[in-house]
Each structure stands twice: as C-alpha cells, then as structure tokens.
Amino acid sequence: MFLQAETPATAPGIISLLMPFAIMAVMVYFMIIRPQQKQQKERQELLDSLKKGDRVVTIGGIYGELTNLKEDYVTLKIADKVEVQIARSGIGNVVK
C-alpha cells in the first residue's frame, strides 16, 4: 500500500473574502453618501447667497420676502405689516 500525503484544501485568500465588502462600500459611497454631500453643499450655498429682497418659500410652504438677515435667522414679510422671524434653515428655496 502506498500512502499519499493529503494535499491541504486551498483556503480562500483574504482578498477574495474582503472583495464583496469592498464592492459594497464603494457602492454605498457612490449611491448614498456622495449625492447627499452634493445636495448638502448646494443647500448651504443657497442659504449663504440669500439677500434682502429675495422672495422665498419656507419648508412649511409660506411665501414671503426677506426684509432682514441675521447669522442664524431671517425676517420674512408675508403680508402688509406682518413679519415673522424664522431660522435660516427653514428656507426651502428662492422664488425666481
């Protein structure tokens, strides 16, 4: 009888084990994180570019004109003799 030495089963390399996780991480970055960062940057540019006299819509749907701007809040004229103060982050977009 001849005894043959058993060949060890090839263990998968560490690279092949980590490859699916790396692919998923790249997909999450390009499909979720990157677009969200781009949207956040555009929103910050919008809030930074506000100026007196701009017509805006709040995130609550109120239309008005900016009459005063401070660091963290703005004064919005929504009707004759009716002005409200709202947080800058409450501005939804600028009406053209």
Report the CATH number at residue 57: 2.30.30.60
Structure confidence at residue 12 (pLDDT)? 73
Same domain, 56 and 92: yes
**Residue 2, in any domain of the structure:** no
Q: Which residue range is the domain that position 28 belongs to?
A: 13-49
Measured CA to CA, the distance from residue 39 to residue 74 in angstroms comes to 22
Q: Which pLDDT tens digit goes with each residue over 15-25?
A: 888 999 999 99
Chain mean pLDDT for the chain: 91
Same domain, 33 and 56: no
Structure confidence at residue 51 (pLDDT)? 95
Q: Which residues of 56-70 are buried (b: 16+ CB within 10 A; e: fewer)?
A: bebeeeeebebeeee
**Residue 5, in any domain of the structure:** no
**Residue 8, in any domain of the structure:** no
Contact 78, 84 (CB under 8 A): yes
Q: Look up the pTM and report it.
A: 0.71
Same domain, 95 and 55: yes
- Please give the helix or strand (H or E) that residue 34 lies within, else none: helix 34-48
Q: Could you say which DSSP state residue 37 is in?
A: H
Same domain, 59 and 92: yes
Domain count, the chain: 2
Measured CA to CA, the distance from residue 85 to residue 96 in angstroms comes to 22
**Residues contacting residue 65 through CB under 8 Å, at least 6 positions apart:** 53, 54, 55, 56, 76, 77
Instruction: Give the pLDDT band of residue 96 (cuts 50, 70, 90).
Output: confident
Q: Which pLDDT tens digit goes with each residue over 29-74?
A: 999 999 999 999 999 999 999 999 999 999 999 999 999 999 999 9
pLDDT at 1 over 80: no
